[in-house]
Amino acid sequence: MKKILVTGGGGYIGSVLVKRLLEKNYDVRVFDVLFFGEDPLKEFQKNPKFELIKGDLRNLNEFPKLFDDVYAVIHLASLSNDPSCDVDPQHTTDINYLSSIELAKLSKQHKIQRFIFASSCSVYGAREDIILDENSEKAPVSLYAKSKIDFENKLLEMIDKDFCPTIMRNGTVFGLSPRMRFDLIVNLMTKYAVTKNKIFIVGGGLNWRPLIHVDDVATSLIMAMEAPLEKVNGEIFNVGHNSMNFQVKDVADKIKKVMPSIEVEYAPSDKDNRSYRVSFDKIEKILGFMPKKSIEDGVKEIAEAIKNGKLGNIDSTNYINLKKFMELKNLPFASGGLRTRSTFLPFALPLIGEEEINEVVDTLRSGWLTTGPKTKRFEEEIKNYIGCKHAIALSSCTAALHLSLVALNVGPGDEVITTPVTFASTANVIVHQGAKPVFVDVDRKTMNIDPDKIEEKITKKTKAIIAVDLAGQPCDYDKIMKIAKKHNLPIIEDAAHAIGAEHNGKKVGIINKTTCFSFYPIKNMTTIEGGVLATDDDKLAETARIYSLHGMSRDAWQRYSSKGSAQWQTVAPGYKYNMTDVQASLGLHQIKKLDDFIYKREKYAKFYKDAFSKIKEIMIPGSIGNIKHAQHLFIIILDIDNLKISRDEFIELMRSENIGTGIHFISLHTHEYYKKTFGFEKEDFPNAAYLSDRMVSLPLYPKMGMNDLLDVINAVTKIINYSRK
Ligand SMILES: Cc1ncc(COP(=O)(O)O)c(C=O)c1O
């Protein structure tokens, strides 16, 4: 027998339809996210003709066999009813429009001709002056209705000989269903009539609605599917009957006829201003459709089901779409709730414009790919931006850190003071020089090196201090510089996160002996890989430049360009740390956009801060005050002592909501190499250890939109709410 794929087959209409299809001997495959559980489909589970695939319409690609052997698709799955759609416009668009298009496309690809879409008479909106037929102008007053119209239009565009969709615009449905709803007018009024002996009519009761019993909707869908193709291909049908356009007050009268003792009370206002009277001539004429059930029939069966306790607790959120939707939205995905996002939000993404792309293409076409004129121009741009005397463009920030140590003559037997809460390369380069990294614990509030603990670690062997501006916040250089000066130590500033930051009104890059920037893709600006060493020291700059390219006296541009000379000398055993012109091509444009990028980051960071200030299990790192933060990372500190989950579990839960996060950083003194080589214990640096177990970096980048930000906030909030001890 023919197999019918019913999306939303576990829903209010779906569960009635599935029963009817099975009775008619069809094979039925239901695809449903089962918001309301499996109970409505329980009675079919042993039926060999029934198959249930639990899944989210937004992830159709995870179900490659969904369309196998399918004769027709009846598409009911949707985020239904106006208020639910209004609370989550993105979700509405995802389900009712984008994923529905995907479903239609896949159906078409699988050569499934019959595609029946359950739309709604809501598309007519607020128009009661005329009787509306399928060709009448639509005047949607809700996102729900708009999403239905948008998909209808898309569907009609897709018609061809292999794909013959039919659109069924249902009136307002009523009646008893295995997946009952009490947020539909007749059903709700009946509930009040039975439980309170009273019904309320809001807004004067004059609004018009075409009504249709859920059984009759199921019949109409089957009729559309079974009708000769030429009658339904590309057709739209209003589903109902001309005799069933009612004003709300008429519905009350009808209920009162069934239950004469009830009181009818008029309540003043109603937010719902939909009002429409609809013609059902077409469905009657073309399909011979005639509803079998009246409002009274529906009222009687619902009243009876309530009275005999068949529906259990009728105030359960299971009976009200909006309440259920809100409940699921606030529940982590891992606990059965709704996944915050259908697509993955990466922890970080660069923002590359056409300017960068064109510049890279220009470089590739120019024939000069490696260090050359564009790298020189990029260095000039950086100097102008920062106000430093020298900017040496390099392959990475790691290279800049390493060359700083080389140029400062740090070598075997020396010690270099730094923070353990940093990326590996900050300390690795010290080891590369044969020197010893000496960690100083961090300040818990700022997460940067604690200046008050530096002096006790200075010995005769100390040669330099590498201070790291974690997350984009400059360290407390007033204090650190005082100590450095007293002990005659140079400060190397690891500003991998901090281009664009300021300290006491001075740009990072002119404060310390050398400053090292990173342009790795997740950073505030990018050159793919890349870095810059900034310094005002002529001699140091010259040494660093020579060591950056094999210790050669001339770089390739000086050797091979039209003005260059092929002669060169190796004057030191240098490294291969040069930046290429392809990388610089990106940098030339990124540096111009940097302030705008930071502005957006600031705005987003403030938005996060405001949102998270209400959650007591989230601590936001503090600032030292006299700085401009580059807002590279938005780090939160989880109060795991008051949560049932660890930081790592939090990250997993965020991932299951489809949101990427990062850790900056697991303290280096706990990493295998540093622990073994220098014999560190976790508690040697208690603040670093504390932060190390609790820090999480949330997505923060200019490419994010406001919706992304709200998704992160919602996901964090629901996970914390659900994990509170
Ligand atoms: C604090 C810190 N220092 C240095 C680096 C190294 O930067 P690069 O990848 O450009 O070598 C990073 C990279 O993430 C970093 O976070």
| pLDDT (tens digit per residue) in 279-302 | 999 999 999 999 999 999 999 999
| pLDDT (tens digit per residue) in 65-79 | 999 999 999 999 999
Domain presence at residue 343: no
Domain presence at residue 293: yes
* Residues β-bridged to residue 6: 30, 74
For the cut 80, the answer to whether the pLDDT of residue 557 exceeds it is no
pLDDT confidence band for 556 (50 / 70 / 90): low
Domain presence at residue 347: no
Whether residue 609 sits in one domain with residue 465: no
Please state, in angstroms and rounded to a whole number, the distance separating the CA atoms of residues 468 and 475.
7
Whole-number average pLDDT of the chain? 95
User: What is the 618 CA–ligand 1 centroid distance (Å)?
Assistant: 26
Structural domain total, the chain: 3
Whether residue 656 sits in one domain with residue 628: yes
Question: Token match 């380069």: residue?
Answer: 429
Comparing 699 with 203, which gets the higher pLDDT? 699
H helices, E strands: number in the chain: 24, 27
pLDDT of residue 566: 73
pLDDT of residue 632: 98
| pLDDT (tens digit per residue) in 402-433 | 999 999 999 999 999 999 999 999 999 999 99
For the cut 90, the answer to whether the pLDDT of residue 375 exceeds it is yes
pLDDT of residue 367: 93
pLDDT confidence band for 272 (50 / 70 / 90): low
pLDDT of residue 141: 86
Whether residue 625 sits in one domain with residue 546: no
Whether residue 565 sits in one domain with residue 671: no
Whether residue 626 sits in one domain with residue 548: no
Residues 6+ apart with CB under 8 A from 472: 497, 498, 500, 501, 524, 629, 630, 631, 632, 633
Atom of ligand 1 nearest to the CA of 518: 10
Lowest mean pLDDT among 260-269, 374-383, 392-401, 469-478: 260-269
Atom of ligand 1 nearest to the CA of 400: 11
User: What is the 515 CA–ligand 1 centroid distance (Å)?
Assistant: 12
| pLDDT (tens digit per residue) in 2-52 | 999 999 999 999 999 999 999 999 999 999 999 888 999 999 999 999 999
| pLDDT (tens digit per residue) in 30-40 | 999 998 889 99
Burial tier of 116 (Cβ tally within 10 Å: 0-12, 13-18, 19+): buried
User: What is the 427 CA–ligand 1 centroid distance (Å)?
Assistant: 11
Whether residue 605 sits in one domain with residue 585: no
Last residue of a domain, one of 571, 589, 607: 589
| pLDDT (tens digit per residue) in 211-248 | 999 999 999 999 999 999 999 999 999 999 999 999 99
* Choice from 394, 398, 447 to test ligand 1 binding pocket (greatest atom count within 8 A of CB): 398
Whether residue 90 sits in one domain with residue 109: yes
Average pLDDT of span 545-564: 80
Supply the CATH number for residue 585's domain: 3.40.640.10
pLDDT of residue 82: 73
User: What is the 519 CA–ligand 1 centroid distance (Å)?
Assistant: 9
Domain presence at residue 345: no
Domain presence at residue 322: yes
Domain of 442 in residue numbering reads as 354-589
Contact 239, 172 (CB under 8 A): no
User: What is the 471 CA–ligand 1 centroid distance (Å)?
Assistant: 11
Domain presence at residue 15: yes
pLDDT of residue 271: 62
Residues within a 6 A CB radius of ligand 1: 396-398, 422-423, 425-426, 468, 494, 496-497, 518, 520, 531
pLDDT of residue 275: 82
Last residue of a domain, one of 589, 618, 650: 589
Which of 148, 436, 463, 523 does the annotation list as catalytic?
523
| 686-689 own/partner pairs: CB under 8 Å, 24+ apart | 686/441, 687/441, 687/442, 687/443, 687/444, 687/450, 688/419, 688/420, 688/421, 688/439, 688/441, 688/442
Whether residue 516 sits in one domain with residue 373: yes
Atom of ligand 1 nearest to the CA of 401: 4
Comparing 127 with 187, which gets the higher pLDDT? 187
Last residue of a domain, one of 563, 589, 615: 589
| pLDDT (tens digit per residue) in 171-205 | 999 999 999 999 999 999 999 999 999 998 877 78
For the cut 70, the answer to whether the pLDDT of residue 210 exceeds it is yes
User: Which residue, by CA, sits nearest to atom 14 of ligand 1?
Assistant: 423
Atom of ligand 1 nearest to the CA of 531: 10
Give the helix ranges, DSSP H, for 657-700: 672-678, 686-692
Letter string b/e over residues 321-330, b meaning 16 or more CB atoms within 10 A of that residue's CB: bbbbbbebbe
pLDDT of residue 267: 74
Q: Check if 523 is active-site.
A: yes
* Choice from 401, 405, 423 to test ligand 1 binding pocket (greatest atom count within 8 A of CB): 423
For the cut 80, the answer to whether the pLDDT of residue 479 exceeds it is yes
pLDDT of residue 139: 87
Contact 87, 326 (CB under 8 A): yes
Whether residue 253 sits in one domain with residue 398: no
Whether residue 160 sits in one domain with residue 65: yes
pLDDT of residue 369: 96
Atom of ligand 1 nearest to the CA of 469: 1
pLDDT of residue 269: 63
User: What is the 546 CA–ligand 1 centroid distance (Å)?
Assistant: 22
User: Which residue, by CA, sits nearest to atom 16 of ligand 1?
Assistant: 423
User: What is the 383 CA–ligand 1 centroid distance (Å)?
Assistant: 20
For the cut 80, the answer to whether the pLDDT of residue 146 exceeds it is yes
Supply the CATH number for residue 177's domain: 3.40.50.720
Average pLDDT of span 152-175: 96
Whether residue 671 sits in one domain with residue 560: no
pLDDT of residue 359: 98
Give the helix ranges, DSSP H, for 161-247: 185-196, 214-226, 229-232
Please state, in angstroms and rounded to a whole number, the distance separating the CA atoms of residues 657 and 723.
15
Atom of ligand 1 nearest to the CA of 519: 10
User: Which residue, by CA, sits nearest to atom 7 of ligand 1?
Assistant: 397
Domain presence at residue 349: no
Whether residue 529 sits in one domain with residue 443: yes
* Choice from 394, 397, 525 to test ligand 1 binding pocket (greatest atom count within 8 A of CB): 397
Lowest mean pLDDT among 77-81, 438-442, 661-665: 77-81
Supply the CATH number for residue 668's domain: 3.90.1150.10
Domain presence at residue 348: no
